[in-house]
Each structure stands twice: as C-alpha cells, then as structure tokens.
Amino acid sequence: MRLAFVGGVLVVVSLGACTEDARPSGLPIDASLVVSDAAIDLGGRDTVTGFDVMPVDPCSAPPCGPVERCGADVDGGRGMGNGIDDNCNGLVDELCGCTPGEMRPCFPAAVDRRGVGACGDGVARCTELAAWIGNECRGATTPVEETCNQRDDDCDGATDEGLAGCDTALACPSSAGAVPLVEFSYDGRTIDPAATGYRWTLACPEGVTPCPTPSGEGAALRVTVPRAGRYALTLESTRPSGVQRCTFPLYAQGRGLRVELDWDRKGGINSVGADMDLHLALIDRRRVQSSRWFTPEDCYFQTGRSPGGTVRWSVDERDTRFAPSATSELCEGSPPPHGEMWRAAGRCWNPRLDVDNLVCDPAVTDGRDPRYCFSENATVDDPPDDVTFRVGVNFYRDHGLCDGSDPADDVVHPVLAVSCGGLTRAAVGSVDDGLVAMSCRDNPMIGSANWTWIAADIRFGASACGARDCVVTPLRATAGRFTACSRVTEDGDVCQDERGRVFVRRAGARPVDVEFAETP
C-alpha cells in the first residue's frame, strides 16, 4: 500500500510584544489570559547589520533605533527578535528569524496611534523562509482621514475634530466583541437612528468558509460566527440624503484554551466530503500511567460532546483542575442541538467538544443551522500550567467514493487554529509551511483504524513579562526515525512525511506520549 501524504504541517507559535493588547472594551474573554510574550534580546553585535545590539527590556516600549534588534541565537546566526518594533516602522522583528507560520501582533503606522481610537493591531506572519514578512500586517486598523461619524478615525484621541458642519447622528463604533458559536446581535439604530433602511454584511477571516450570512429584520443584526478571529461588519443605512456606510471590526474570542479544526473537504449532505475528528489529550506527570487515545482520557466526540461521558483528566477526587462549570453559561450557545443539551445538563464539561462536525451542507450560510459546516473545536475553560495538551487529528471516514477523475478531490487538508485567552497563537497546517494532506484511499476504514496525525503540544505558563501565556510546539520527528509514509506497508502503524509530521494508525488505546516525549 502506498500513502499519499503530500506537503506538511505548519505550527505557528505566536509571541507578541509585551505591551497591552488593543481590544474592544467589555470583550467577553478570560481577562487572566492576556497573551503577550517576547524573546529577550541578550545583547551583542548583530551579525547581519553590524550594529551594536544593546540589551532590551521586552516589557517596556523602547526608544526608536536604526535597526530591528534581533539578537544572536545559540548558533551565532540571526536571532528570533524581541517582539518589539525597535526601529518604529510599524513592523515587529521584520527579517529576524522565526518559526514558519508563527504570528505576532503588528501595527504599520505611527507608534503613538497604536490602540488609540479606532486603531487596532493586525497580525504578522512568519514565512516558510523563517523570516517575518516585512510589508504585511493583516487585519490592522490604521489612521485614516477623519470623517463625520462620531469615531476617532485618525486615532489622535479626538473625535470628528476640524470638520465643518459635522452634526450627523451616525455613531460608528470602533469595534465589537463576540464569542465563537454564540449568536451575536446588534441594533443598527444605535449607529444611525435617523435611517429609513438598514443592510448588514459580514466579511470573514481567511479560511472561514462558508462565511455566515447575517439575519434579522429592519435594523436588527443577528449572526453566529463559527471560529475565533477578526471579522468585519458593515452597516449601510439609507437616509433621504443618500446611503451612509459604517464598517467596524468584530473580534470573536473565546475563554481559556480553544483548539479549532478545519478542513477543505467538508460535506456529506448534498455533496461528497470527509469527516475529520479533533482529539485533545493530556500529558500529566501526576498520572501513574500515560493517557491513551480513543479512551475516556481523550477529549473527542465520544467523551467531550454533550451529552456524552465526561473526560477523565483528574487524577483523583481531590483534583479540581478540570471540574465542570457551575452553570451552562459558557457552553449553552453551542450550535443546536448541543447548546440545548448543555443547558438541560445545567453545566459544561471542562474540557469539552462544542462541535462535532459529522456531515454538513457547504451551501448553508446560516451559522445557527445544524447543517452549517462548522469547525470542530475543543475548549478548556481554565487550563493549568502543569500539564501538556497534545492535539491529534483523525481521518474518521470519507463520504465520497474515492473514484473522482481528479485525485486531488480525494485529499483532505486539515488545519488547526489555537487561541489562548482569546488571541490566536498558532495555525498548524497553514500554507506557510506546506499543507498536511491525508487521502481517503489511505483511510478506507473507520475511526481509529485510519490514520491520526499527532500534530502539536500546547503549554501554559508565565511569559517574560509575567503574564499568562501559551506556547504551541509542532511535533516533528527527526529524519528517518519512522518509516516514510510513502513506503509504509500494510503492517506499519507509524510513519512520517517528508517534513517530519508523524501519523499513527490504529491509535485506539495507544499511549499519547509514545511517539514524542512531553514538550518541556
């Protein structure tokens, strides 16, 4: 048998600057998990630029200098940077070394406008060449010319200043906050009370497909966003004088640890596709024996989904690190029928699987419709610091026949997004490092009998600035450790692709830490 594992998995470890993150006030996230971190520049002479590099305090804003201070890594090459815009050009650590796919906050405008008025951070990505993209900052809101909308568009701390005859009642908000999978509502009359007509549209982040269509009557907006990220809401309000337009960011953020699985061949209703499953397990030194996949020690569709059984992560009755919540408030917004089941149970499992996407209809754009193609996601409301969370992705089954004229139609590309305290920290399997490819021909069975990608580890702890943070580590084997997936035989249960990503077959009751030791 020949396996067609093509491409690779990318992990993004996001280490942001140690400054307060700009976010909308009142955003429903876990305030104890303000994610910020930096690699401390130890000083020395930068081997690329020749500038003397002075020690950097990563927890305070630096004065502007002539160059980004990357520091020297252990090999004497170009370091990872310090998470700070040292030369004040609006970019963080451009051309410094980085982990491909890693993401950091950035702001491509004057430093003194960052987080003021309508201005907010975007995200910089590390390229497959292990360097920050020097001219890209996705999703940032930067200063623009002031318009008459009761908003600080130029981010100088003043609203509608210097505009003659500005008496409009249009009040465009700087931003709004939502929770993934929970219906978000907004009254357009608070933006334009004098309008005679209202029309809402939503723009989704890259990878959210299909993008949900807002619903509601008149000025009322109702929409459910399926994944964490930065969306954009636009209201077109009609007046006798014409149409006015207001666009503002909608930040969808969840509490604690949130791992989201997406893939490009969803379906099963009115279309072919594949059923991929997310697995989240624990490596805990307090346990006598290792946790195992596809057991109650693994958070997946059999254990973490309402009204399934409880995941067994506690070591004894005195261990309350993963106790269920006291109410169902945190999980009752899950898509039907799961939200209603959590509400009936009166509490939320911790951890839990809010969505298990078995079959869906890619043509449905209503985020409250059970047929919508949701991402699968696992949530840990209050993740402790003394464990490692390990993520796996199983090719459960294929809804097609694997006989399409184009072999690419039968290949699935899973992507994992990891958020900590509401901020995206990694995209594992992203295009920056080559996609993971799993073929239905190589997965002809069901569930554990098929291949499971052992993808990433996540650990929480204190950052360089003392804030709680998480680090996402891609799991990759050294060259030649396991059989190449292109040469695996019928009897082979472990293989690695050309980038070192590891896949196991018959993972049921397999120790979670057998292929990789715990990430320190």
Task: Render pLDDT for 76-112 as a digit per residue (tens, 0 to 9).
Answer: 445 666 666 777 777 777 777 777 667 777 888 877 8
Least confident of 55-59, 159-163, 339-343, 476-480: 55-59
Residue 491, pLDDT above cutoff 60:
yes
Is there a single domain that holds both residue 381 and residue 426?
yes
Is there a single domain that holds both residue 235 and residue 266?
no
> Is the Cα dihedral 153, 156, 159, 161 positive or negative?
negative
Residue 441, pLDDT above cutoff 70:
yes
Is there a single domain that holds both residue 245 and residue 302?
no
Find, among 287, 291, 259, the residue nearest to 458 by Cα: 259
Bridge partners, 185 (sequence order):
222
Q: Which of 199, 220, 252 is the last residue of a domain?
A: 252
Least confident of 7-21, 372-386, 396-410, 439-453: 7-21
Confidence of residue 408 (pLDDT cuts 50, 70, 90): low
In a domain, 372, yes or no: yes
In a domain, 497, yes or no: yes
Confidence of residue 63 (pLDDT cuts 50, 70, 90): low
Q: The domain spanning residue 197 has which CATH number?
A: 2.60.40.10
In a domain, 42, yes or no: no
Is there a single domain that holds both residue 350 and residue 440?
yes
Confidence of residue 178 (pLDDT cuts 50, 70, 90): very high
Is there a single domain that holds both residue 381 and residue 280?
yes
Tell me the C-alpha distance between 508 and 281, whole Å: 13
In a domain, 411, yes or no: yes
Q: Report the b/e string of 111-125 with b at 16+ CB within 10 A.
A: eebbebbbbbbbbbb
Q: Which of 232, 252, 272 is the last residue of a domain?
A: 252
Enter the tokens of residue 26: 């009142």
Confidence of residue 220 (pLDDT cuts 50, 70, 90): very high
Q: How many domains does the chain have?
A: 2
Is there a single domain that holds both residue 300 and residue 382?
yes
Q: Which of 222, 252, 282 is the last residue of a domain?
A: 252
Enter the tokens of residue 193: 């009370």
Dihedrals φ, ψ of 336, to 5°?
-65, 145
pLDDT exceeding 90 applies to what percent of the chain? 42
Is there a single domain that holds both residue 334 and residue 477?
yes
In a domain, 332, yes or no: yes
Whole-angstrom CA distances from 287 to 284, 291, 301, 312, 315 are 6, 8, 23, 11, 6
Tell me the C-alpha distance between 121 and 249, whole Å: 11
In a domain, 317, yes or no: yes
The per-residue pLDDT for range 356-369, each reduced to its tens digit, is 999 999 999 998 89
Q: Which residues contact 24 (CB under 8 A, 6 or more apart)?
A: 174, 175, 176, 177, 249, 251
Tell me the C-alpha distance between 236 and 106, whole Å: 29
* Side chain identity at residue 32, one-letter code: S
- Which residue range forms the structural domain that includes residue 247? 176-252
Residue 11, pLDDT above cutoff 50:
no
Is there a single domain that holds both residue 295 and residue 396?
yes
- Whether 118 and 151 have beta carbons less than 8 Å apart is answered as yes
In a domain, 380, yes or no: yes
The per-residue pLDDT for range 121-144, each reduced to its tens digit, is 888 777 767 777 666 788 888 899
Is there a single domain that holds both residue 219 and residue 358?
no
Enter the tokens of residue 342: 């959590």
In a domain, 95, yes or no: no
Whole-angstrom CA distances from 340 to 108, 253, 311, 334, 345 are 44, 22, 20, 8, 9
Alpha helices in 223-354 (DSSP H): 338-345
Is there a single domain that holds both residue 408 and residue 449?
yes
Q: In this predicted structure, what is the pLDDT of residue 10?
A: 30
Is there a single domain that holds both residue 449 and residue 476?
yes
Is there a single domain that holds both residue 246 and residue 336?
no
- Whether 119 and 109 have beta carbons less than 8 Å apart is answered as yes
